[in-house]
Structure formats: structure tokens, C-alpha cells
């Protein structure tokens, strides 16, 4: 799971504790004797696999992974709560659109439910906004843009300063809402809030970035001016319902644009809090508008002539659809799509730091993030480390993200869970070996949750769908090659180019990897990091569609156009 600095932390070994050795390998805990207590207990459902080896199940009710310092893992499981845990209270009623700094109830006849992924209890209902409502949101942004762009740059930046401070004050409230909305752990949700604050802080530097340049050549003066595009739109996924909108909003607003946001209909609550904070920060009406709904609302926004730029994060299919329409209508477009991030492990790497890093990156956020490592490429004898990786993953605690001590929360929906389970079964049918099976987990206190434990597949081949396609769940596919050169070739042949990491103690090999691998982001002895707001996103190949990437200096470039002004001033000659 990601810490505030972006590093994977779900399976980090505690300081001062030696790593487990093969002789001290954690054993499967023995179940406690039945008691007369009526307290709910988490149970584990076994499932027979068609793989060649018997697949151990992830532990549901053990503490976070901690290497034993003197003795093996205790045989008894950790005591469970004495009463059924209850999720934090959610909103009531329905989600409203945010247009012109007002929350407006939709007049649509079509509503979709948003559920708590841990319980399947209804949280709220989300409107499929009407075409008139979409048009009004765009019109509100268009009306506000003229006066907003004329506001002095320092004044626009003051609004961002206030928004940043409001985020800090409401950090806990935001994290709790994100955790309830998505199912992710409170630690992950808090990291997301930190990342959102970081994006606001990065946008504060707008003064030094967009002022343009001055050139003078003899009697001619030439100036470049960076001007806002106008009304922009953003379409964001459920994975990071606050952070990803903040990849776009601060940079668009700082440069004098206004924006219409269409968040995921599965996780609408965080952006409702964002709208409240926009009002509190004093932004003028219409500078940010939020309309809710599904693909139809996206198409309606794309059809609006006033929209000049489109930012998108989501699936391959949806990204290609949005990209094609934006290009056809001559809108500026940036679209971040699917990923298949590789972690290359060399035998000279620090074994336990590498394995804990892999586990945290692959299984954190239930594998529902574009920066997680989903492919492990073991080079040479490092393949012998697989049993220890299984032991680490097996001890991760699965449960509702808003409970303390949880490592892996639920998937976003029953459909998402079914899709991941089908991908696992297809891999087994194709000949992959199932080393750890996360399917079939049942938590007695949360029987309807979308829970799936960490899953590890080995003997995977590059032609298999589990390698070719993004699974988007807590599944790590493992491949084996003999040399670093083979690993680099494998990464480069994959159609996705979001990122890759290498784990090695050799600076020479790390430099070779950095030089030769064709991906946008590289980690060296660290899982892929979500870059800070000052650094631009750099995905490539099929992971990104467009010319200019997200946030950082590129973010300012995306939301501005350059105007060049040349001038000559001469005095009239004296009259004869």
C-alpha cells in the first residue's frame, strides 16, 4: 500500500526485526477450539484448485506480516472483535450535481446505487444527469471563465492556498469518506489525501511557470504569452476518487481555465466533499462544476463545443473511445489507460526488502491501482525466493478498509470480483501454477463483501491472457528468465508502458535497465512511485493516449496555449 511518499508499505518489515529464514518459515495457524462465545468469527472457505500444487489460502484473521525474531508464527489466530464491526455512517439521500456553486438535485429518471464494497449496503444513489443538466454545467463554466481568467494570477493562487489549508483541516474526514467509498484501508485513504494536498501545493508554483518569455532583437521585441484554453473537462475513475481529480483541477484553475468534472458513479462521495471545500475556499461560482453519471454523460460532455480540453483516466476501451471523439472534435486530449507494470528481480537484490516491496505493491489497494506491480520477472536463481513471497502474502490481513490493522480491502464491486476470479481460473486452465489462491474467502461479519485475498501465479507464459491483460485485482503473475537482457526484452515487448522496477545491488545493471527499458516510469530497488505534483506523469506506449501528460510542468503546458507577440515602436520622422 502506498505511503504518503508513494512507496509500498503494506508488507514492509518492521525495523530491527530479522527476516524469517526458510527454517523459520511461518506455518499455517491452527484453528482455535470452538468456544461458547457468540462473538462473530471470520472464517475461511477452502477451494480445490486445478493447479498441480495445493494452493494455501491467505490468512484472514492474522495480524499484519511481521517476521519472527525468535520463534515461528504462533499457531493460534489473533482474537477477533467481541461484536460485529460496524462501518462508519454514510450519507443519506442522493448525490446532487454541483453547478455554479450550488448543489442541484437532478431531474433524471435514471439513478444508479453506490454500495459499500465491504457490506453491499446502499450508501447513496447517483443520477444519470440529463443533457440539459450537462449543458448547464458547461454553460456555467463558460460564463465564469472570462472573469476568472482576468483575475490576477496571484489572486487565483490565493484560492488554491485556501483550498490546500481546508484539505489539511479536513484530512481525517476526507480519508474516512474515501475509505467508505472505495473500501481501501484508512492508511491508503490518508495517503491519497496527502497526494491531493501535494497537487495543490504544486499548482502554487504557477507564477514562475506560465509568465512566458521575452526576446529582443535590434528594434523588434517578441513576447510569448501562455493563455488559458477555456472550459476543460475531466473524467476520473473509482480508484482514487480525490487524488486523480486533483491531478487536473488545481493546474487547470491556476492557469485561468474553468472545469467540469465527471467522477466515477461508483465512488461519488469524495468529490461532493471537494465541492463543499471549493465553496469554503471562496472560488467564484462556475469555476468548478461536477456532473454525475456514466458513459452517456461523458459523451454529452464531449459533444459540447465549449469544451476545449479533455483529461481522462480509466480503462483501455473507454480511453480509446474518449480519445477518438476528442481528436475528431479537435479538443486537446490526455488519456491514461491500462497498465501491466513489471518488477524485475535479480539474484543480487536485497532479498527481504525486495519481497516485502513486491507484496505491498502487488496486493495493496486490492490491486486496484495503475502503479502497482502486477508482473514479477525473476532472473536466474531469484526464482527460488517464491516460497518466501507466498509466506509474506499469505499473512496479509483481508477485511473492510475502515477497520484498523487491515492490509487489503475489498474489490469495488461483485462484478469486479467475478472478473478477477475468472482471470485466475483462465490462467490455471492455460497451465499456470497456482501458488496462492485468494478466492473463496468469507468473512463471517461481512458475508457480502467483495473480498479476494492475495493470489500468486507462477509458470506464466507471455502468451497467456493473465500476462497480456490488466487484471486489476490482488493477483501477481510470475515469470522466469535467465538474464537481465531477456527481462528487458520482455518489458519492452509488452504493449503497456506505464512503469517498471528493478531490484538489484548492482549500479551497473540498474543503469543498463534504466537506459534500455521502454516505459514511462522506472523504480530502482523500490516499487513504482506515484510521482509528486511537481513531476509530470510519464506513461507511454498503450498506457497513454495524447501528446502532453499530467501535472507538473506538463500540466501547465496542457492547459495553456502560447501566443507570440512581436512589436516595433518607432517615432515618426520630423516633418519637412
Active-site residues: which are they? Answer: 370
Backbone angles phi and psi of 274, in degrees to 5: -60, -45
Any residues with CB less than 8 A from the CB of 143 and at least 6 apart, and which? Answer: 286
Using CA atoms, how far apart are residues 324 and 477, in angstroms rounded to an integer? Answer: 32
- CA atoms of 449 and 452, how far apart (whole Å): 9
Concatenated DSSP letters for 181-225?
Answer: HH---HHHHHHHHHHHHHHHHHHTTHHHHSS--EEEETTEEEEEE
Q: Which of 285, 227, 297, 229 is nearest to 261 (CA)?
A: 297
Q: Which H/E stretch holds residue 429? A: helix 414-429
The answer to whether 411 touches 365, Cβ cutoff 8 Å, is no
Torsion angles phi and psi, residue 148, rounded to 5: -65, -40
Contacts of 133 (CB under 8 A, 6+ apart): 97, 99, 104, 106, 107, 108, 291
Q: Chain centroid to CA 90: how far?
A: 23
Give the residue ranges of DSSP H helices in 204-348: 206-209, 243-254, 269-280, 295-302, 316-328
Count Cβ neighbours within 10 Å for each residue of 332-358 and write b for 16 or more, e otherwise: bbbbbbbbbbbbbbbeebebbebbbbb
Residues 6+ apart with CB under 8 A from 111: 94, 125, 126, 127, 128
**CA–CA separation, 300 vs 137, rounded Å?**
11
| Ramachandran class of 472: left when φ > 0, alpha when ψ lies in -120 to 50, beta otherwise | left
- Residue identified by cell 447513496 is 124
Cell of 545: 493516449
Euclidean distance between CA atoms 519 and 502, whole angstroms: 12
Amino acid at each position: 500500500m502506498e505511503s504518503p511518499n508513494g512507496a509500498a508499505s503494506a508488507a514492509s518489515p518492521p525495523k530491527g526485526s530479522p527476516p524469517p529464514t526458510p527454517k523459520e518459515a511461518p506455518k499455517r495457524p491452527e484453528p482455535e477450539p470452538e468456544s461458547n462465545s457468540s462473538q462473530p468469527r471470520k472464517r475461511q472457505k477452502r477451494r480445490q484448485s486445478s493447479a498441480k500444487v495445493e494452493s494455501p489460502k491467505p490468512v484472514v484473521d492474522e495480524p499484519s506480516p511481521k517476521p519472527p525474531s525468535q520463534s515461528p508464527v504462533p499457531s493460534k489466530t489473533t482474537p477477533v472483535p467481541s461484536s460485529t464491526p460496524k462501518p462508519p455512517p454514510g450519507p443519506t439521500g442522493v448525490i446532487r450535481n454541483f453547478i455554479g456553486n450550488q448543489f442541484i438535485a437532478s431531474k433524471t429518471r435514471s439513478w444508479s446505487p453506490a454500495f459499500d464494497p465491504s457490506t453491499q449496503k446502499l450508501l447513496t444513489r447517483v443520477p444519470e444527469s440529463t443533457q440539459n443538466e450537462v449543458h448547464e454545467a458547461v454553460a456555467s463554466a463558460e460564463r465564469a471563465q472570462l472573469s476568472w481568467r482576468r483575475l490576477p494570477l496571484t489572486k487565483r493562487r490565493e484560492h488554491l492556498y485556501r483550498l490546500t489549508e481546508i484539505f489539511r483541516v479536513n484530512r481525517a474526514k476526507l480519508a474516512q469518506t474515501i475509505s467508505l467509498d472505495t473500501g481501501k484501508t484508512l492508511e491508503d485513504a490518508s495517503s491519497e489525501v496527502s497526494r491531493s494536498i501535494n497537487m495543490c501545493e504544486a499548482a502554487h508554483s504557477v507564477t514562475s511557470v506560465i509568465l512566458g518569455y521575452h526576446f529582443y532583437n535590434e528594434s523588434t521585441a517578441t513576447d510569448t504569452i501562455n493563455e488559458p484554453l477555456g472550459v476543460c473537462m475531466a473524467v476520473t475513475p473509482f480508484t482514487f476518487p480525490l487524488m486523480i481529480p486533483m491531478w487536473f483541477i488545481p493546474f487547470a484553475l491556476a492557469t485561468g481555465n474553468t472545469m467540469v468534472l465527471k467522477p466515477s458513479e461508483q465512488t461519488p462521495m469524495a468529490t461532493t466533499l471537494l465541492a463543499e471545500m471549493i465553496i469554503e475556499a471562496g472560488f467564484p461560482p462556475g469555476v468548478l462544476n461536477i456532473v454525475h453519471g456514466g458513459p452517456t454523460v461523458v459523451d454529452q460532455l464531449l459533444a459540447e463545443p465549449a469544451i476545449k480540453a479533455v483529461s481522462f483516466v480509466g480503462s483501455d476501451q473507454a480511453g480509446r473511445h474518449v480519445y477518438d471523439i476528442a481528436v475528431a472534435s479537435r479538443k486537446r486530449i490526455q488519456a491514461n489507460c491500462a497498465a501491466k507494470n513489471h518488477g524485475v528481480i535479480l539474484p543480487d537484490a536485497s532479498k527481504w526488502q525486495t519481497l516485502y516491496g513486491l507484496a505491498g505493491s502487488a496486493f495493496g489497494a486490492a490491486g486496484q491501482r495503475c502503479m502497482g506491480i502486477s508482473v514479477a520477472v525473476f532472473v536466474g536463481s531469484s526464482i527460488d525466493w517464491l516460497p518466501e513471497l507466498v509466506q509474506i502474502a499469505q499473512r496479509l490481513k483481508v477485511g473492510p478498509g475502515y477497520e484498523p490493522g487491515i492490509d487489503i480491502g475489498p474489490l469495488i464491486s461483485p462484478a469486479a470480483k467475478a472478473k478477477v476470479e475468472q482471470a485466475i481460473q483462465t490462467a490455471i486452465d492455460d497451465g499456470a501454477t497456482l501458488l496462492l489462491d485468494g478466492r473463496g474467502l468469507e468473512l463471517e461479519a461481512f458475508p457480502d463483501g467483495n473480498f479476494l485475498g492475495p493470489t500468486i501465479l507462477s509458470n506464466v507464459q507471455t502468451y497467456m491472457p493473465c500476462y497480456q491483460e490488466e487484471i486489476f485485482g490482488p493477483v501477481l503473475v510470475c515469470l522466469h528468465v535467465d538474464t537481465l537482457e531477456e527481462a528487458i526484452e520482455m518489458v519492452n515487448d509488452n504493449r503497456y508502458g506505464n512503469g517498471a522496477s528493478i531490484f538489484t545491488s548492482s549500479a551497473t545493471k540498474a543503469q543498463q535497465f534504466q537506459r534500455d527499458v521502454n516505459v514511462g516510469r522506472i523504480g530502482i530497488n523500490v516499487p513504482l512511485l506515484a510521482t509528486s505534483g511537481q513531476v509530470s506523469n510519464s506513461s507511454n506506449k498503450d498506457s497513454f493516449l495524447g501528446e502532453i501528460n499530467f501535472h507538473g510542468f506538463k500540466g501547465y503546458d496542457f492547459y495553456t496555449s502560447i501566443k507570440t507577440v512581436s512589436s516595433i515602436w518607432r517615432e515618426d520622422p520630423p516633418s519637412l
